[in-house]
Amino acid sequence: MAWLVKGAKAGDVLFLHYSGHGAQTKAATDRGEAYDQVICPVDYTTAGCIVDDDLFQMLAKELPQGVRLTAVFDCCHSGSMLDLPYEFVCSSTITTGNSNYHMKQIRKDNFSKGDVLMISGCKDTQTSADVGNTASMGNGATGAGGAATQCLTYVLLNTKDLSYKDTVVKTREMLAKKKFEQVPQLSASKPLNLNEKFSMMKTFPVDSSMKQSLPRSIQLLL
């Protein structure tokens, strides 16, 4: 992961996909969080798990302005795996209207000059399911895979001109239709304009109504 972001400069486009084991551990800090989210690499029995705080420090904190990082964590307890400050929320159950969906600032630290978008397989309190045969999800290939990844892939490949909001909502709806209980989350380093066209290549369209929530040093860069 350190290799991915090392030397990143304005105009670079980065992508990270993690599909593996995730877990929770008792929080080591006093920020009011009961648990930290962790990923479990292949050597976790000897080297330990990687905590969400460290993932932010490693992947997002030092990214310069103009760098775009999209990260997909399709693992258990992944809702806030990068500890980013803004989160996609809905004030009620899934509907087709726009008014219920918005970005909410959930913390006042962990900002980044770079544009970091994370999509998780589930909420922090949930587990992420696998499918035994990905062909059953409509993507053509066979073999095992993460249910959230398969639904996200299907939505992106089969729906034109998706907004950021629609990408999340349609992925959630497909999972629910397939009888999965997990609810993918979207979080970002800046207050994303959810109605703009979804992209993994471009820097963020920031929601102007929330610009003042960013540190002054980052506001001046926008």
Active site residues: 21, 76
DSSP calls for 136-176: GGTSS--S-EEHHHHHHHHHHHH-SS-BHHHHHHHHHHHHH
Which token pair is 117? 């978008």
Nearest residue to 119 (alpha-carbon basis) of 65, 165, 175, 73: 73
Buried/exposed code over 177-209 (b: 16+ C-beta within 10 A; e: otherwise): eeebebbbbbbbbbbbbbeeebeeeebbbbbee
Beta bridge partners of 38: 23, 51
Grouping H, G, I as helix, E, B as strand and the rest as coil, residue 112 is: coil
Nearest residue to 86 (alpha-carbon basis) of 191, 198, 217, 177: 191
Grouping H, G, I as helix, E, B as strand and the rest as coil, residue 59 is: helix
